[in-house]
Amino acid sequence: MAPDFAPTSTEDFRLTDLELQRFCNISKLLLTCVVATHKTLRGLGNNDVLLLEHQAIAARELNSLIQQTNQAPLYAQILDAMTMFIGVQVQQSVYGPWRVHLDGAKSILNISPESLSTCNKEDVHFLAITDIYGTTTTPSKLLSSDMVAHHIIYRRMLAQLNIDPLQTPTPVPNEILDATIAINIYRIERQIAERHSQHQQSSLDTIISKIEQFDSQKWAAGLSAEYQPRSRSLSTLAICFASATLLYLLQSCHIHSTSKFARWKSGVRRQAAYRDLKNSITSIFREKSRNGTHYKIIFWPMVICGIESASQGGRIDFLCENLEMMTVDLGSYSMREAAAFLRDLVELRQSRGASHGEIFEFDWDEIFARAPIFAI
């Protein structure tokens, strides 16, 4: 089907014709779309007509399924179809209508432990991850109080799902995923407080401490026996996500302090996180030459690293070249769009007259006005 999507060497991501026949019709239609896009990017043919026809038929069948929700509890089937649609849309564009399917799923399911408990746990995990990482690149005008409640439910559900994160499209350590949820909640609450001229009570100090206390080697050593031969590379992967998460906090929340020491400490933290992120990404791509596969699953950290590089006036060539390569490897336009996004940031910094050596603070709402997703 599309084995390059696989984060590991497992055969689980490959389908025989017999296995494909067991899928519902919507899934079969959308899997065909995935493969068609993958082949186009690999130069193996272009069949846009087939792609559009299959998506249109799948959309009609999904609409028919939604119309039946008053007659039977079809949450599991609807979520399965909608997560497939999200994947197909993100594969085609990070700016595409993927958010429509995400919002539709959240509305139909009314995001509650009760409704989610009836669904396939892999679909629930995918929905949560999409919403969590989609929120990291959502402008303030689209943030709402409902999103806080959803994030709290995700935090609870993810702890109960008992899913191996290393067998998902975003293998983030639970501690780091929890920190990402906390940062999102902080951003949402801050925006709500500003709208109503209220004082925000929550602090970022606790989140920063949790990220800094995370021990990647201890995390890797605690994984099951099947992962131990790769514990060193998995530790590097964990560092990649941890340092990117800390940078996301420092970039998006703009910690302003009148304390000279606090400003210095924040600057030191930022440089250390940036250094760790660059080193881990470089190491992961070095492993690619030895058949390493972790480069396939560090899309979000690479974008965060690129934002910081552009902010500090650094070079983004290495990141952009590898994002372009990933577009072909993974059969997704998303990485190519991410490379273009980072190049636009460099031009934005230059147009604003930022001097050499100066950290130019990008406005999160401005650079993410189109609300993309750089995660899947």
Let me know: does 101 contact 46? Beta carbons within 8 Å.
no
Query: 23: which residues sit within 8 A by CB, 6+ positions away?
Result: 31
The domain limits of the chain are 3-367
Per-residue model confidence as pLDDT tens for the chain (376 residues): 445 555 555 555 567 778 778 888 998 999 889 888 988 888 887 788 889 999 999 999 999 988 886 655 678 888 999 999 999 999 999 998 899 989 988 888 787 777 788 888 989 999 999 999 999 999 999 999 999 999 999 999 888 888 888 888 788 999 999 999 999 999 999 988 877 666 555 578 899 999 999 999 999 999 888 888 889 999 999 999 999 999 999 999 877 666 676 777 788 999 999 999 999 999 999 999 888 889 999 999 999 999 999 999 999 999 999 999 999 888 899 999 999 999 999 999 999 988 888 889 999 999 999 999 998 7
Let me know: does 99 contact 134? Beta carbons within 8 Å.
yes
Alpha-helical segments (H) within the chain: 17-21, 25-41, 48-67, 75-92, 98-109, 113-116, 121-136, 145-161, 174-195, 205-213, 216-221, 231-253, 260-288, 299-311, 317-330, 334-351, 364-367
Let me know: does 124 contact 169? Beta carbons within 8 Å.
no
CA distance 39 to 170: 23
pTM of the model: 0.92
Q: Which of 232, 225, 216, 226 is nearest to 290 (CA)?
A: 232
How many residues in total does the chain contain? 376
Q: Tokens 């109080």 appear where? A: 145
At 101, give phi and psi (nearest 5°): -70, -35
Cβ burial of 206 (10 Å; 0-12, 13-18, 19+) is exposed
Structure tokens at 160: 């109960």
CA distance 100 to 323: 26
Residue 314 in 3-state DSSP? coil
Let me know: does 174 contact 165? Beta carbons within 8 Å.
yes
Q: What percent of the residues of the chain are helix, what percent strand, and what percent coil, each to the nearest 5? A: 70, 0, 30
Sign of CA dihedral 235, 237, 239, 245: negative
